[in-house]
Structure 1
Amino acid sequence: MRRRLPLLVVVLLGLVAVSSAQAAPPLEATFIEDLQRLEARLQGGESAAVERRALEQARRLAGGNAADRWARALYLQLAAGAASRQDEPARAADLLAEARGLDGLEAAQHDRWLYDEARLRLAAGQHPQGSELLTEWLARHRGEPRDRWRLARALAELERWEAAATWVEEALAVTPRPDAGQRTLAGTVLRRAGREGQALSLLVGGLADSREPVRWREAAALAQRAGDDGQAAAIWEAGWRAGILSGSDDLRRLAELHLVGGTPARAAEYLETGLASGELVDGEANRRLLAQAWERARDRERALAAWQAVAELSEKEEDWARLARLARAYRLTPSISRTKGGSESSSARP
């Protein structure tokens, strides 16, 4: 990430006339002229040469009076800007740290450089230092929503999930419509921090604008992890009806979610439709799921017919036994005949 520091020209002339006790000391005209020349060269693309000259001047001014220290700080800032233009954010951050560490620096300027250093540290991948500096700055300044998102992302990089979740909440509070990247970051952080309910609300709120199947599947999975199977089924069905989720795997998953979510009749209806249309394979696994769905829906006739179909396909003793137990539970009398090859047929009457 490339980070260009604010230019000096717009502030230098104003500094000369300031004489209050809290303001920076006035600079000699030679320093102002030199800084302006270097700034012009920096804008002209002479980054390396400007950095060398600025550092030479900063070294020469070491140990001077208050005005010299202020001039030195400005040369260090200029060198930092030159380093940033050369895509060296870590070196630029070090130079800003040196500038803001000089004695006599006014608080407002110190914090401006603190903020820039924090962003440079993060751009350089120095997340521990960058997040610490940005946290310090935000303790004294309101900042922009992007600052909170930046800090949340840095803390997530460090896997400090609780701290990251706190800043995600701060960021969401001042971001009426988070974009896709922000929602993804927030969802990940909130889940890893164990705040499943908040993560789910965020994901569901953003689904209306998304046609990405992965996001719908993720939201349904999150609802299940939060213990709300019914909502998981509702999310999956909405995605299915919108055509975002499709295919045999998604159809079977829809039925499974309805089955565990307390709407087994809906599960059975989707399974029957899928089997009739050929979208689902007409085999033992799908027939067994259909039988379980009708049984849980307490539809006696369909449950018995479905379990009989399963038993005929599987030819397993336990499936025939289950059919018989189910018939007795429904107070029906099963009539089961078995062929020599082991297959059975069953009918039941009231």
Structure 2
Amino acid sequence: MRLSHWSYAVVVGLCLGAAGSKALAAGPPLAPDMVNALESLQQRLQDDGASQDEIDDAKAAARRLQGGNAADRWARALFLQLAATGEARRGRDGAAADLYRQARRIDGVDGDSRRRWLDQEARLRLRAGQTAQGAELLGEWIERHGGDRDSLWLMAQAQATLEHWSQAANWVDRARRAGGMNDTRRALAASVYQHAERYEAALGLLDTALEGKGDDPDAWRRAAALAQRMQRPGLAAALWEAGWRRGALQGREALEQLIRLHVAGGTPARAAEYLQAAFEDGTLPRDVEHQRRLAEAWTAARAHREALSAWRTLAEQTRAAEDWRQLGELAYGWGEWSTAVEALREAREQGADPARTWLLEGVSLLELSREEDARQAFEAARDAGASQAEDWLASLDAD
């Protein structure tokens, strides 16, 4: 799940700055010439907008100090931090994160600096698209040092990007307790709860106007329509589901829309379950249109047994070559070889492409260890123009 409207804010400050002496005092005392070198490089980075020369100078200084005494190690960490600041300012977030990692792992670095650089590295990795690594580091920082509300929301966003819905929902819970809710975060939280199938929690995020009109069907329709305009079909499905469960949305038209929204919103299994129940209680007819919708919903949900059964029922209703072919190709792709053979034959008899249906039937028969039947199918496929059939026949001859 890409949440492109969010940004991973990173505050990249120089280690000296207005806090100059305080920052330097966090580590071992440095020689005056080392302090001058750090302050000079910091000033150049500020004046030149972090040019490549200044960044290279900071890295070179850090390399020269490698393996020194405690003061050298502290100065090395500060030079690495300066280089990281420069890389981040130039938009090279991954490189900046690597430098912060080096700096915070140097022996003798004080705890406050380690904490600050861990936070910086985590946010830079998130901004660089290294979401899994950034989320791990940010979680480590929060658990060690306690996160503010912005960090908690950032963690929820990262878990949502990774599509770890249960974990994202837990982080949303923590972030909501910390406060700082706004429209963007409310949309994130609602989307996370919907994917985690926590529909009541998603419902709780509706605005005051909607909550005040909980039995008004037009209010629920407007909310779902807004979610669709925001290109959030999952949220639209969650809103419609909540209105349906509350009883505000009723009737066949509302049920049809609920089914369509679940398919569009990435929860096709729910759509199929509603269709199946509607067939059984007579709310919707089991006609060709609705049977096709059921088959497509189970297919999108990758529910093999239910999808193949639904496509078979549809094909028997329509006797159409395309429906038999769809059943045959799905069965072939899912390794249901007997069903594939039967459906592909029916499809061919109804006018489907003989070259492809013979070829797939041959492979299916071979998987069923019916080699002579497979040979005949491959020969028919070859005669119908399937170029791959020759390779299969050659393989059989070699065996």
TM-score, scaled relative to structure 1 = 0.60
- Residue 232 and residue 179 in structure 1: after superposition, are their counterparts in 2 closer, same or farther (change >3 A)? farther
In structure 2, what is the Cα distance between the partners aligned to 1:216 and 1:50? 48
In structure 1, what is the Cα distance between the partners aligned to 2:237 and 2:189? 16
Instruction: Give, as a single letter, the amino acid of the residue that structure 1 aligns with 2:238.
Output: L
Give CA deviations for 1:19-69 in whole Å, capped at 9, x if unaligned.
xxxx51111111111111111111112431111100010000000000000
Counterparts in 2 of 1:206-225, with a 5 A limit? 207=210, 214-215=225-226, 221-222=237-238, 225=241
CA-CA distance at 1:175 after TM superposition: 1.9
In structure 1, what is the Cα distance between the partners aligned to 2:211 and 2:198? 22
Matched, 1:106 2:90: no
Q: Secondary structure at the match of 1:233?
A: coil
CA-CA distance at 1:220 after TM superposition: 7.4
Which of 6, 9, 13 is equivalent to 2:13? Answer: 6
Q: Partner residue of 2:193?
A: 190
Counterparts in 2 of 1:1-350, with a 5 A limit? 3-7=10-14, 8-16=16-24, 18=25, 23-44=26-47, 45-175=49-179, 178-205=181-208, 207=210, 214-215=225-226, 221-222=237-238, 225=241, 228-233=244-249, 253=253
Gap runs ≥5 in structure 1: 235-250, 258-288, 290-350
In structure 2, what is the Cα distance between the partners aligned to 1:213 and 1:223? 6
In structure 2, what is the Cα distance between the partners aligned to 1:111 and 1:185? 28
Instruction: Answer whether contact 2:59 2:79 (CA < 8 A) is retained.
Output: yes
Instruction: Give, as a single letter, the amino acid of the residue that structure 1 aligns with 2:203.
Output: L
Q: Secondary structure at the match of 1:76?
A: helix
In structure 2, what is the Cα distance between the partners aligned to 1:63 and 1:42? 26
Instruction: Answer whether contact 1:3 1:85 (CA < 8 A) is retained.
Output: no
Give CA deviations for 1:213-254 in whole Å, capped at 9, x if unaligned.
6247777743553585344439xxxxxxxxxxxxxxxx9957
Instruction: Answer whether contact 1:197 1:226 (CA < 8 A) is retained.
Output: yes
Give CA deviations for 1:294-335 in whole Å, capped at 9, x if unaligned.
xxxxxxxxxxxxxxxxxxxxxxxxxxxxxxxxxxxxxxxxxx
TM-score, scaled relative to structure 2 = 0.53
Moved over 3 A (4+): 1-4, 204-213, 215-221, 223-232, 251-257
Instruction: Give, as a single letter, the amino acid of the residue that structure 2 aligns with 1:43.
Output: Q
Q: Which structure's CA Rg is the greater one?
A: 1
Instruction: Give, as a single letter, the amino acid of the residue that structure 1 aligns with 2:109.
Output: L
- Residue 208 and residue 53 in structure 1: after superposition, are their counterparts in 2 closer, same or farther (change >3 A)? farther
Q: Partner residue of 1:314?
A: none
- Residue 220 and residue 43 in structure 1: after superposition, are their counterparts in 2 closer, same or farther (change >3 A)? closer
In structure 1, what is the Cα distance between the partners aligned to 2:198 and 2:86? 43
Q: Partner residue of 2:393?
A: none
Q: Secondary structure at the match of 1:96?
A: helix
Instruction: Give, as a single letter, the amino acid of the residue that structure 2 aligns with 1:133.
Output: L
Q: Partner residue of 1:340?
A: none
Q: Partner residue of 2:354?
A: none
Structure number with higher helix proportion:
2
Q: Tell me the matched-pair count.
A: 236
| Residues 225-234 or 31-40, more deviating | 225-234
Instruction: Give, as a single letter, the amino acid of the residue that structure 2 aligns with 1:225.
Output: E
Percent of aligned positions that are identical = 41
In structure 2, what is the Cα distance between the partners aligned to 1:189 and 1:15? 40
Give CA deviations for 1:247-277 in whole Å, capped at 9, x if unaligned.
xxxx9957989xxxxxxxxxxxxxxxxxxxx
| Residues 204-213 or 78-87, more deviating | 204-213
Superposition RMSD in Å: 3.1
In structure 1, what is the Cα distance between the partners aligned to 2:224 and 2:165? 26
- Residue 3 and residue 189 in structure 1: after superposition, are their counterparts in 2 closer, same or farther (change >3 A)? same
In structure 1, what is the Cα distance between the partners aligned to 2:177 and 2:68? 47
